[in-house]
Each structure stands twice: as C-alpha cells, then as structure tokens.
Structure 1
Amino acid sequence: MRTSIATVCLSGTLTQKMQACADAGFDGIEVFEPDLVAAPQSPEEIRALADRLGLTLDLFQPFRDAEGVDAATFAANLRRAEAKFSLMQRLGMDTMLVCSNVGTATVDDDATSAAQLRELGDLAAAYDVRLAFEALAWGRFVDDYRRAWRIVELADHPQVGVCLDSFHILSRGHDPKEIEQIPGEKVFFLQLADAPLLSMDVLSWSRHHRLFPGEGGFDLAAFLAHVLRTGYDGPLSLEVFNDTFRQTDPDRTARQALRSLRWLEDQAAGRLGSEAGSGLARLPEVAEPSGLDFVEVRAEDTGDVEVVLEQLGFTFRGRHRSKAVGLWTQGGARVVLNEQQARDLSPAIAAVGVEVADPATSAARAERLLAPTVHRRTYAGEERLAAFSSPDGTEVFLGRVPDGPDATWTEEFRLGGTASGPELVTHVDHVNLVQPWQHYDEAVLFYSSVLGLAPQAPLDVAGPVGLVRSKVMRSTDGSVRLALNLLPAGLVTGLPQHVAFACDDIVALAERARSRGLRFLPVPDNYYDDLDARFDLDPEFLSTLRSLGLLYDRDAGGEFLHFYTATVGQVFFEVVERRGAYDGYGAPNAPVRLAAQMPG
C-alpha cells in the first residue's frame, strides 16, 4: 500500500521535511498547516517541489472547531474553510482533515453537526475537496469514532467521510472492531500512531508521547486489519507528535518512520492471513535468532580486556590471519577483541553476532527495513558475514547456526592455545547496550522488526545519576537477550556497557578468578546486611556471598547469583548463575552496581 507521513512528525523546515521523506522512500505526506504557514515558499512552489521529489500531497490538516456551533460562528467557519479550500487548490490537494470541535462547540446534537458538515461539503465540492471528519479523543462532544461515523452518515454527502486515527481510538479504550461496519469508500483517510501505555490526560499523552508503530503498547496490527476489512485502499499514514522526533535529524527519523510502517504492514498481513487482498507488502520471513555467536570489543589497545578475560578463565584462540583481531573463548562464549580502526578508542562493545538459520534471508529483511549495511574487508577464503548497524551504532553480524561447537569463521584464527582447565562459563547470557535518549524507542523497533526479538516490560532502576530505564529484547527461549538501557536525561556519557556470561558454578568460578587476581566490583557490607534481612539466608551461604563479592536475588521461579568485574574503558563483564526457573537479571542489585561504578 502507499505510505505517507505527517510533516509534524519531523524536525526542520517544510522543504527539509519533504526532502527527508522522499529520501527515506515515502510515497506522500500530510501537510501540517503550521509548517506551510512558516514556509517562505509559495503553495505553488511547494507543489512543484513535491512533484520533483515524487511525493503526493495526501492530506491538508488540521481544520479545527468546525461543527457543533451557533449560526454566527458557523458562518465564520465557512469563510475560513473557503480560504483553505482555495489554498488547497493551489497546492493541488483534495482531502482536508476536519477535527471534532474542542474549543467552540456549544451544541451537543448530532443532527446539527451533520447539517454543518453537509454545508461544508457543499462548499468543498466546488473546489473538488473531500472532508475527513475525525473524532479527537478530547473532543468536547464528539470523542468517539463511532459517533463521528453516525454524524457522517447523517450528513449523507459525497464529499464528507471519516478519518480514523489509531491514537484517538485506542487511547480511549474504544473497541476498534466496529470500524468494520464503516464502508471503505467512506473512510477517507487513516492515521497511525503507537504510544506507551500511560495513565495521564489524553491531550498531553497525544501531544508529547506518541510513537511510531512497534515502539509502544498498542496492538496496531489488529487495528489496521480492522480498517482494511472495510475495503479502505488509501495511504497508510503516520501522525506522531513526539518531542524527541521534533528535535532530532529528520532524515534518520523519516527512515525510522518508514521502517515502522513496513513492519506494521507485515504484521497486519499476518493477522489477515487468507483475507489479505489489500496490497500489503510482506517482509522476508525469518525465524528469530537462536543464539549469540560472539561479542566484539574494540579498542586501540585491548590488553587490559585480555587480562580480565584470562582471569575469568577464557582461552586465547589466536590472532586473525589478516586482521588485528584476537579471539577468546570459554564454553560457548566467544569474545572478539578488535584493534582495527580504533585509534584513541578505549574498550567498548562494538558488535554482536547472532546465529540465524538463513543469513541471506535475514540480511534481505534487514535491508527492506532500512538497516544501514556494514562493510568490513575480507580476503579470499574468509567468511563474509552480512552485517548492519543498529541505532546506537552497534554492528550486528548474521552468522549461520553452526553444525558443531564452533562457527566456521573461528578457523581463521591462528596460533592460539587450548583450554588448560575446566571451562566454567557455558555461554553469553545477555549483552547490555546503553542507548542515547534520542534513539531508545528506535532501538526497540529496530531489534523487534529486524531480528524478531520481543520487547519485555520496561523497568526503571534508581541510580546515583537518576533513573535508568531498561528494556530487554529477547528471543522466545531466552538464548538471545539484549538489554537496552536508556541514559538518564542530561547524561551524555558515564554508563558503561557489559557482557554477562552464564555458568553453572559461580562460586568455583569466582574463587578461581580471585586467585588469578581479578578485580571484582566492590560490594558494601550494608548490601549483605540488607540481603540477610530480606531473604533470611543460611549464615554459611551468606558468608560465602560476602567473602567473594557475589550478589543474590530470588523470586518464585528460582535464584540468581552474579558478580561484576571492574570497568575497563567503557566495558565490564558480569558472570551469572541461574538456579531453577529464575528469568530476570537481578534488578534489585542494579543500584548497588551503579553506585559502585560512579567515579570517585
């Protein structure tokens, strides 16, 4: 189906927004009137620019407070509307959004509203303009799409239909199933927006917290399926009011927006199944990743990281035959240390590799979802791994599920050793990636749409610099877990990233690491006093935790033991042991870790 986006979604001037939308690949735009009013270009120049860019001008919006008013007010509304219809002719536009009245309505009567929309329709017909009537969630009298449709039915005018907006319908908890009772030819326009599930007044929620599809809590796939069952064949258009999007790069936001629409089309097509005669575009179908292939740390000098890995029991498997890259392994955990193109860089997580059943198909899906391709130099005989860049710059590599214990690319590393003792680490449990505030929601959509990971409920953790919001993206079986941490507002740097390794005997591993000189993150005695009060632990067990600097958590499913290393550059390591069916991440212990990592 055709794609469209309201210019209010983006930062910049109207012409900058139009260029960004065209470059991203949108078919058309909604022109937000304040953007046009502020533009130095004439309507004819905007129309000509849209033609050059290959954009259709799909909707002029908004026309406010039109119906439910007294005769004198309505006469003024007709004069105002005629000026806008004339403007739309100059723009070459044929559909205008008419919002339900929120400011001047004094007549709570469907017949009156219908009569006034009918008269507006007569005037619009002279300019070949259609009116899409929308029930705003905070409309004074009309705040339900079902009432808006009743009024349109009463108006009974060919130029008058409805606009369906997912936010206005879902934020009020209205059942979208009755959308299917509206004839498709009377659905003049469709606007889509997601949002976090918040408890606040709908106007503030709408104006500041809307999100692109896939980034919030609404079931937009089901909503879109209801709309398409009416026979609607107009554009899928985004109308997202969001403070972050209006102050960040419009090119990037436009690509993020189109990614969300392509994901939503695919999700809705899946809901419709055999009903899908709607022209929805499908994405290449892929299975979710089955494991973490490797984690890469990049730095100009990786020596300090090598020391920590050796102390944790990792084995150096050798240097790459053509690159300044080393490989360290233990059990199924692989860490790549990369010193290429890393001048003046301190250690930080640069990439993760995921195991997928069909890398080529997964790469095709990523490309369709506008994931930026990553190119790395390879020579003849070396495995080429498809890769793309995530919103925070972390590179994601696609490796085939290995037949044996090792991926084929590990054979490119030479002159390494073999494990000299028991390998207590079994695999990578999870990777924690810190996200800049302006890319957090984009990252959630990225990992869910491109990799097929499911977002878990967000969690806020109190730290010395403010609340840290964390959301885990994970595969169904938990074999891939990426924890996305949002930097507190105003904090540009300061939260390191980390890799968590799983083991079956954390006490033995901690004792071995301590004997090798590992610097554990310090844990205050107060923590263990509180632990004893909360869980009434066996004194000997508590003494073991205290002596080794281990942290502990417990829930109805089981127990969780873990420890952290000191930070090297912008990265540190965690070792975890899950007992029973514990499936969390030790969130109650996060404030202790964050406090211990504060400088000074």
Structure 2
Amino acid sequence: MRTGIATVCLSGTLREKMQACAVAGFDGIEIFEQDLVTSSLSPEDVRKLAADLGLTLDLYQPFRDFDSVPEDLLASNLRRADAKFRLMSRLGMDTMLLCSNVGTATIDDDELRAAQLSRLADLAGEYGVKVAYEALAWGKYVSDYEHAHRLVDMVDHPHLGTCLDSFHILSRGWDTAPIEAFDPAKIFFVQVADAPKLTMDVLSWSRHYRVFPGEGQFDLAKFMGHVVRAGYTGPVSLEVFNDVFRQSDVERTAVDAMRSLIWLEEQSARWLEANPAAAESGAAGTAARRRYPMELATLPRVAEPAGFNFAEVRAGDTAGLETLLSQLGFAFNGRHRTKNVQLWTMGRARLIINEEPAAGQQAAAAAAISTAISPAISALGFDVDSPVIAAARAQQLKAPAVPRKSQANEEVFQGFAAPDSTEIFLCQGSPDGTAAWVGEFGEPHEPGNARPPVVAAGGTAPAAGPVAGAVIDHVNLAQPWQHFDEAVLFYTSALALEPQPYAEVASPTGLVRSQVMLTEDRGVRLVLNLAPLLQQEAAGTKEPGESGTGHRRTYQEHVAFAVTDLVATARAARDRGLDFLQIPANYYEDLDARFALDPDFLATLRELNLLYDRDADGEFLHFYTATVGSVFFEMVERRGAYDGYGAPNAPVRHAVQYDHLHQLTRSS
C-alpha cells in the first residue's frame, strides 16, 4: 500500500513538514495550497526537496467552488484552474483535488455540472493533469460520494475521476459497499481520516475533530476493504484537520500518522479475511484475495497480554515509597544483583523501585540530581506469549526500542517506549503467575543486600493474610494533552488493548478525560487520563525531556492492587501507620442516601476512609494512599462481577488531592 499524508495534518513550515514526513517513512504527500502560498520555497524548490527526501508529490489541494455556477463565474473559475495547472507543472504534480461546491453554487442541474466538469477536464488534459472530484459532506448540491461518481461517469473523461474521502462518507453514514462496483480507473485518489462520533454540524466536526485511523470510532477497515476490492492501486493518504495536531511536534505527529496507516493496513487485511465476498469462498477465494492489485502488508500477530508482570516507579529519594509500601503490606525482596533497583511484592503483585538515572542522562548530571528525582511511574511489564515477536510488532509500529543492560544469566526484557515515555517491557508469562527474573534479587534477609521493612513509629511489620493473593488490578497513566489520541492508538496497535468509550470526570480544575484500555479477559486494565492544563501547571509539570528523569509528569498517577478482603487490608495498613487519603464526611452522607447501606458497614467505610460503589453486577470497595512525588496507590476489592473503577467516587479523589496539593503549595 502506497502511503501519503496531507501537509495540513502537521505543524510547522512546508520544509519542516516534508522533512518530518520523510523521517516517518511516508511514500508521498499532498500539498495543501496554503502551505505552499505561505512558504518561502519556490515550486521548483519544493519539487527538488521532495526528490531529495524520496517523497512523491501526489495531490495538490484543494480547488473549491467550481461547479453549479452561471457561465460568467465559470469563466473565472476556469481562469483560476489554468493558473493552478501551470503551478502544478512547475511542482511536477499531476493530480488536483476538486471539492464539490459549497459556496457559489446556484444551479442544481446534473447535466450542467457534468458539462462544466467536462470543460475543466479538457483544460486539465492540456497540462497532463488529472482532476479528482470529491463530494464534501456539506456540499450544497453534491454531498454523496455516489452522486459525485455518477457525475464522473457522465463526463467519461480520462482526466476526470473521483476522490474517496472516508470522513465525508462515514460522517454521513453512507454505505461503503457500492465502492466495489466503481471502475478503479476512475478512482483517482483515496483519503482517510478517523473521528470520534459526535453530535454537531458536520463542517465543524470535520475542521476540528478528525483524528488518525485507530484514534476514532469510524469503521475504516471496512471502508478500505471495499476500496481494495474495487481494484484501486493509488496512494492511501491521510487528510486530518485537528487543532491539537497542528500545535504538536511535527516529527512526532508524523510518526503517529504513519503508525496509524500501518495499523489500518493490517486491520483492512483482517477485515478482508473475515468478510469474504460471495466469489471468495474456499481456497480459490483466498488465492483471489492475494491477487488484489493493492497488496496489504500485515504485522506479526500476537495475543493480547495475559496480565501485568510488574510496575516500576523511578525515584531518587526512595524513603517515602519504601515507607508507603511497607505500610500497605508489601514485602521487600531485596536489591538486584547488578542494578540499583529494589523489588517489593504483595502476593502476585510486583513493584520495582528504580534508583538508576533515566536513559539519556549524563552520569555526572545524574549523580548531581539523583536525590531530586520525584517518584514517578516509569515502566510497566506485561506477560505475553512471545516477547520477541510482540516487540518486533511494536517496532514495526514505530515504537522506539528501550534496551536494558543485562549480564549473564539475567533475563533479557524486550522493551520499547510508549508515546508518554513510559517504558513498556514484554515478559515471558507463566501459568502460575511467577517470574523467573525475581531470582536475580537477593533474599529479603541476605546480609548487606536487604533492609528491614520501614514501618512508622508504633506500627507493626507487614504480614500475610488478605493481601496474599494480591495482583495489579489496573494502572492509571496521565497523558500530555497533545498526545492523548496518539497513546490510544499506540496501546491499541502495539499491545492489542481494546479502547472503551471514554468518560469525563469532574475535578476542581475542569473535566478530566478518562479512557480505559483493556484485554478481553480484564487481565490488563490500563486507564489513560487527560488532565486539564491548569491542573498540569499547578503540579509543576513539564514536557518530555525538560528535566528530571526525562519522563513526562502531567498529572498524579497510580497503581491499583486488588485484594480479597479490603477491610482487613485497610485495618492492617492503618495499624502500620498508613496515611490514607482523607475522605470528607459529606461523601458518606451521600453514600448512605444512594445505597441505604447497613449502618455498621457504613461506619466501617467512614472509619477506614474507604470508598464504595455498586451496580447490577456487584460491588467495589477501594481506598487511596497519600501521594509521594506524582505517585499514589489504590487498594481495591471487586465483589461479584463488578467491572468498573468506582467512577462516581473519582470527583471526590480529585477534589481531596487538589486541596492537599494546594495546601502544600501554600505552606511552602
């Protein structure tokens, strides 16, 4: 599949956009007219730069408001077209996008439109240029792609064809199956864009909320499947209007865009496999599908992760974390024999405290600032069937590799970086939930290697009991505002996590967008949060690479651990001196009004700062710790088939954490 992208998708100058597209691996680009008009590059410069970068110039766009007009206006439009065709000759481009008229159309007559399009095609032919006619979803008279194609057929000119744009088709809910009957010689160009399903006027939806494939809710694999069956062989190009993308780093956005096309290519191939046409049954059909003119590449197939293998927190000063983990009931399992990291376990839940400087830090600088590194979630490990194959898939999806130094007889983790800089490590899963690498850590009481559990004054040491079967239930990661959609696509494509409908949670600084990503069996639950910018600034956060570990901190994050008896776990943690997140009394009054809980049970919840939720499938109990750096922990108990996260309680947590943060700010 030939890949392309419109320069309108990206930030920066035309030169910067072209360079970023080449770095990301695109085959070609669409030149958006405004990018050329505002550029200091001459058309000849652009043509040479594209050749030097190995990019084809596939489409010049857009040419607007041509058809359905009186004769005097048509003459003016033809003059404009002549100028653009001459410009395209200088660029070395042979295809122009023509949008159906939305502004100056006054005559609703297909015969007239066809005659006018024929005159434009004649003019284009004089310059060796093709015109791809596109039905805009808000076109005044032509808004349906089948209507546009009928006009192309009426004209029947070698220099006039159609452009199929997934947004204009899917936003209107048009059936895409008729595409298969189109003459592929008349399909001059294909543009793709995804979008969340919104209720608003289609023009505003198109101009501000398009996203890359896999980041929205359109069925693009089905759309592309019909395009492939039609016999189309040209570029598949991204045309995405998005306010956030136009403000983000150009190279990073280009890589995200390329990842989305790689993912779409694979999903389209799978759709064709799962939805054979009537003439494609049996072995003969399989062979026929392989002979489609457009070849669709696929990635190594991997199963979804079986579960979390570990979570890692990086910190310079680890005392606060050690105290917190001991109070929760974690056991200290020693230091790694060659790395400056600690292992803490609770049942089958494993947490690593990493005291080593992040990748990219100079040794001297790292030593100077090591104690200033605020605790932050830095890595996650996942159990997978084949780490090598899964890592190869991620790298083909443009995920940068993150190797870790290993010595003889140490497990080699396959690792790569997620868009938010979290390091993802793929581990060989085991049926009993154990991990071979745990043996690389010293015994808990090995002299010179271990330290006793840290317990607050008057507290007691961790013990077995209700936490013995603990597991990591979910991990909540914060996402920079400009890369949230990128993260959704990344975890969908690289880890086979399924995105759920996103929710918005009220906080003192605005709405927090929350997107759950999970496996079918709920063995992995990953929650991506997008915090309001004001809250990010209040927390003193920075962009990736600006300071500290080089790891972004846009918002408080946490790891949640599931236990079988939360009340007993909370009592034991309290006895060890745990600092719980303090829940206001008003919450418990509201809880009683909503659920009419047993008075003794309600008193227990209040006494231990526990939160509660219930639905038709079960119950959910949970509590939160205070925050250390940007990290806090949550303990949960799921009763019955409860599948949520206590969403009604989230505003309470946000409000209490916000108040605590600002108390600290005022006191300092």
TM-score by length of 2: 0.89
**Aligned residue number for residue 522 of structure 1:** 582
Q: Deviations over 1:249-304 (max 9, x none)?
A: 11000000000000000000001123353311101110010100000000001121
In structure 1, what is the equivalent of residue 401 of structure 2? 373
Residue 91 (structure 2) pairs with residue 47 (structure 1)? no
Within the alignment, does 1:408 sit opposite 2:429 as a pair? no
Q: Note if contact 1:315-1:417 (Cα within 8 Å) is conserved in structure 2.
A: no
**TM-fit CA distance, 1:404:** 4.0
Where do 5+ consecutive residues of structure 1 fail to align?
none
The answer on 1:581 being equivalent to 2:625 is no
Describe the superposition over 1:388-438 as per-residue Cα deviations: whole angstroms up to 9, x where unpaired: 111111110000112544211111100315985223452000000011100
Provide the secondary structure at the position in 2 that maps to 1:411: helix
Q: Report what 1:538 is aligned to.
A: 598
> Is 2:120 the partner of 1:60?
no
User: Equivalent residue for 2:477?
Assistant: 433
Deviation for aligned residue 1:177: 1.5
Tell me if 1:386 matches 2:414. yes
- My pick for the range that moved more, 412-421 or 97-106, is 412-421
Q: Which residue of 1 aligns with 2:508?
A: 464
Show the counterpart of 1:291.
307
* Paired residues of 1:316 and 1:417 also in contact (CA < 8 A): no
Q: TM-score, normalised by structure 1?
A: 0.99
Letter of the 2:499 partner, please give it: P
Report what 1:124 is aligned to. 124
Q: Which residue of 1 aligns with 2:79?
A: 79
Helix, strand or coil for the counterpart of 1:337? Answer: strand
Q: How does 1:26-41 map to 2 (within 5 A)?
A: 26-41=26-41
Selected match of 1:309 from 314, 325, 334: 325
Hey, what's the Cα distance between the residues in 2 that align with 1:141 and 1:474? 44
The residue number in structure 2 matching 1:594 is 654
Pair 1:190 & 2:182 matched: no
Q: Secondary structure at the match of 2:214?
A: coil
Alignment partner, residue 443 of structure 1 = 487
Q: CA deviation at 1:140?
A: 0.8
Distance 2:203 2:631 in 1: 41
1:88-107 to 2 correspondences below 5 Å: 88-107=88-107
Write the letter of the residue equivalent to 1:340. Answer: E
Cα contact 2:403–2:413 (8 A) shared by 1: no
Counterparts of 1:322-333 in structure 2 under 5 Å? 322-333=338-349
Contact 1:552–1:559 (8 Å) recurs in 2: yes
Q: Offset at 1:313?
A: 1.0
The one-letter code of the counterpart of 2:497 is L
1:20-77 residue CA offsets vs partner (Å, 9 max, x unmatched): 0001100000000111111111111110110110000000000001111110011111
> Between the two proteins, what is the percent identity of the paired residues?
61
Partner of 2:624: 564
What secondary structure is seen at the aligned counterpart in 1 of 2:373?
coil
- 1:441-480 CA-partner distances (Å, limit 9, x unpaired): 0000000000000001101000111100100110010010
Q: Indicate conservation of the 8 Å contact 1:212/1:238, yes or no.
A: yes
- Please state how far the C-alpha of 1:238 moved relative to its aligned partner: 0.1
Which amino acid is 1:372 matched to? P
Corresponding residue for residue 260 of structure 2: 260
> What letter matches 1:505 in structure 2?
D
Question: Does the aligned pair in 1 maintain the 2:329–2:463 contact within 8 Å?
Answer: no
Aligned pairs, how many? 600
Q: Which moved more, 1:450-459 or 1:371-380?
A: 371-380
1:364 is displaced (CA, Å) by 0.5
Alpha-carbon distance in 2 for matches of 1:370, 1:226: 27
Structure 1 residues 128 and 570: alpha-carbon distance in aligned structure 2, compared to 1, 3 A threshold: same
Contact 1:424 1:505 in 2 (8 A): no
For residue 415 of structure 1, give the secondary structure of its aligned residue in structure 2: coil
Question: Match for residue 503 of structure 1?
Answer: 563
**Displacement of 1:330 after TM fit?**
1.1
- Gaps (5+ residues) in structure 2? 274-285, 359-369, 447-461, 540-554, 664-668
Aligned residue in 2 for 1:19:
19
Q: Which residue of 1 aligns with 2:546?
A: none
User: What secondary structure, in the 3-state scheme, does the structure 1 residue paired with 2:82 have?
Assistant: helix
Q: How far apart are the structure 1 equivalents of 2:604 and 2:534?
A: 39
Cα deviation for residue 381 of structure 1 reads 2.0
> Are 1:421 and 2:481 matched, yes or no?
no
How far did residue 247 of structure 1 move? 1.0
Q: Which residue of 1 aligns with 2:366?
A: none
Instruction: Indicate if the aligned counterparts of 1:99 and 1:136 stay in contact, CA closer than 8 A.
Output: yes
2:160 alignment partner in structure 1: 160
Separation of aligned partners in 2, 1:282 and 1:29: 23
**Is the 1:502–1:576 Cα contact (8 Å) retained in structure 2?**
yes
In the alignment, which of 345, 366, 374 is matched to residue 346 of structure 1? 374
Is 1:473 the counterpart of 2:501? The answer is no
Bigger mean CA deviation after superposition, 496-505 or 175-184: 175-184
Q: Is the 8 A contact 2:509 2:534 kept in 1?
A: no
Separation in 2, partners of 1:421, 1:536: 33
In structure 1, distance between residues paired with 2:126 and 2:388? 54
1:335 aligns with 2:351: yes
Alignment partners' CA distance in 1, 2:351 and 2:416: 19
Q: Which residue of structure 2 aligns with residue 482 of structure 1?
A: 526
For 1:290 and 1:49, the matched residues in 2 are separated by 47
